[in-house]
Amino acid sequence: MKFNATVLALLGFGLLVNSFAFGQGSKVEVVESEGSWTLLVNSEDFYVRGAGGIDEMDLVKSIGGNTVRTWGIENAQEVLDEAHEKGLKVMLGFWIQHERHGFDYNDEGKVKSQLESCRRAVQKYKDHPALLMWGLGNEYELQYANTKVWKAVNDIAEMVQEEDPNHPTCTVTAGTNDVKLKYVMEVLTAIDIYGINTYGNIGNVKDVLKKGNFEGPYMITEWGPTGHWESPKTKWASSIEQTSTEKAASYLNRYQESIASQEKQCIGSFVFLWGQKQEYTSTWYGMFTDDGMPTEAIDELQFCWSGEYPANRAPKLDSVHFENSKQIKNLVLVPGQKYDLEIFATDREGDKLTYKWELYQESTDLKSGGDAEDKPPLIYGKVKGASKSEIKLKAPLTEGRYRLFVFMNDQKKVAYMNIPFYVENDPSVAAGKIRFKKQTLKSFNE
């Protein structure tokens, strides 16, 4: 297709306008001095205070954050533009295909196609001023067998360095151990920064890296509450989720003890999840609820990033009583039986709290590695007084696993918890040793 001079002039003017609008791309470097690593943006120190997600960028900025992370290049232009407008940087992620999703790393054609797809994205976005670094893959070694994936990732990193010498590369594994670290150090030679996703095990990262003699820069690319796979379980194998207040304490402790304290090699982190998703439950990882309410964890994150708490803080959950007892682990209920529950919470500013209780069957759509899950349907008609702090729960008639959620909000922020329980049709569980009685609970041989 040919263009006349007028069209070419207009195209040139458009490119010029775009250049004026966004300025020049940043030069980002990872530098070492006497064993300590620093990220430099245009020659100035830059410690990554990152949000894992792209929602509520204004809030990220206002609480002291400076970076957001994506896992793919969907809507990359819009994300980069908005981040630049808000004064934020972006770790732009490439979704490197997973063997567990059916990708074959023995298929050289597909591997090459993946690399070339990444090349086109690098060429397109490398000069955007919001770009901080490239995130090459996320947990691609999860449930895998073909170790060729490591070389494929390194080949992509080498390509990125050729196409864009101004932005470093980072790759991300699901936790770390001596085996993964060996591949990172011996195969991923073109990777500039090692990214580690870790939750309850975050305190062991420094020991693994020290034992493996890893002396390079790294980031904690996902961190937050204790993962559902590493949490305590009920007798029927349902994971017990931390309350929002317990999670807030975990965010504070894990940032101070395992991120900020490791400044020699750790050049920053990305908190997870800056948003909301259904993963095991609808509340497990999101720092917001599914109706967009911020949680207490964000208050602690603001303190970690800025040294100050917000003027209005989230409600704080104290406890829940089931039949006048705080013992809520391993609750087994009689079908159709009614039980009394009461939640106790406080608000630091004395704001009036409103309550919402919701009942669901335990989710059976369980995936791994953060793959998309469907939320189970809400069960209606079993909670009397669902907008109050005290309720009466009528146990479902169908035997099985359930989870009762309660939310408390001050119209601005929310606290929450959930209680897994089991409905047992047999009134004499455990070989007749323990029998149910009206308005009582049983605890599976605790």
Count how many Cα atoms sit within 13 Å of the Cα of residue 283 in the half-sphere of its side chain: 28
pLDDT in tens, 58-101: 999 999 999 999 999 999 999 999 999 999 999 999 999 999 99
pLDDT in tens, 309-332: 999 999 999 999 999 999 999 999
- For the chain, the average pLDDT equals 92
- Residue 430 CB partners (closer than 8 Å, separation 6+): 444, 445
Contact 70, 92 (CB under 8 A): yes
User: What pLDDT does residue 19 have?
Assistant: 37
pLDDT of 18 higher than 80? no
- Residue that has been written with the tokens 């809507």 in this structure: 75
Q: Among 317, 325, 295, which Cα is nearest to 418's?
A: 317
User: What pLDDT does residue 426 have?
Assistant: 83
Average pLDDT, stretch 230-246?
97
pLDDT of 5 higher than 70? no
Q: Which two tokens stand for residue 432?
A: 């007749």
Instruction: Indicate the Cα dihedral angle 233, 237, 238, 241, nearest 10°.
Output: 20
Residue 7 — very low, low, confident or very high, per pLDDT cuts 50/70/90? very low
pLDDT in tens, 359-417: 999 999 999 989 999 999 999 999 999 999 999 999 999 999 999 999 999 999 999 99
The domains of the chain, with CATH numbers, are: 21-306 (3.20.20.80), 316-423 (2.60.40.10)
By percentage, how much of the chain surpasses pLDDT 90?
Answer: 89
Instruction: Give the range among 43-57, 190-204, 385-399, 420-434 with minimum mean pLDDT.
Output: 420-434
- Strand ranges, E, within 159-256: 169-174, 193-197, 218-223
User: What pLDDT does residue 174 have?
Assistant: 98
Instruction: Give the range among 34-43, 130-139, 239-248, 422-431 with minimum mean pLDDT.
Output: 422-431
User: What pLDDT does residue 428 have?
Assistant: 59
Pairs from 38-42 (Cβ < 8 Å, separation ≥ 24): 38/267, 39/168, 39/217, 39/267, 39/268, 41/89, 41/132
Average pLDDT, stretch 351-356?
98
Q: Which amino acid appears at position 15 of this protein? A: L
pTM: 0.90
Q: Which amino acid appears at position 208 of this protein? A: V
Q: Which 3-state string (H, E, C) describes 421-444? A: EEECCCCCCCCCCCCCCCCCCECC
User: What pLDDT does residue 23 have?
Assistant: 57
Instruction: Give the range among 285-294, 347-356, 421-430 with minimum mean pLDDT.
Output: 421-430
Please provide residue 360's backbone torsions phi and psi, each rounded to the nearest 5 degrees: -135, 155
β pairing state of 338-346 and 316-322? antiparallel
- Residue that has been written with the tokens 């040139």 in this structure: 12
Instruction: Give the range among 212-221, 388-397, 426-435 with minimum mean pLDDT.
Output: 426-435
pLDDT of 286 higher than 80? yes
Q: In what order do the strands lie in the sheet with 44-45?
A: 28-33, 36-41, 44-45
pLDDT in tens, 116-144: 999 999 999 999 999 999 999 999 999 99
CA distance 84 to 262: 29
- Residue 419 CB partners (closer than 8 Å, separation 6+): 320, 322, 328, 331, 403, 404
Q: How many CB atoms within 10 Å of residue 49? A: 22
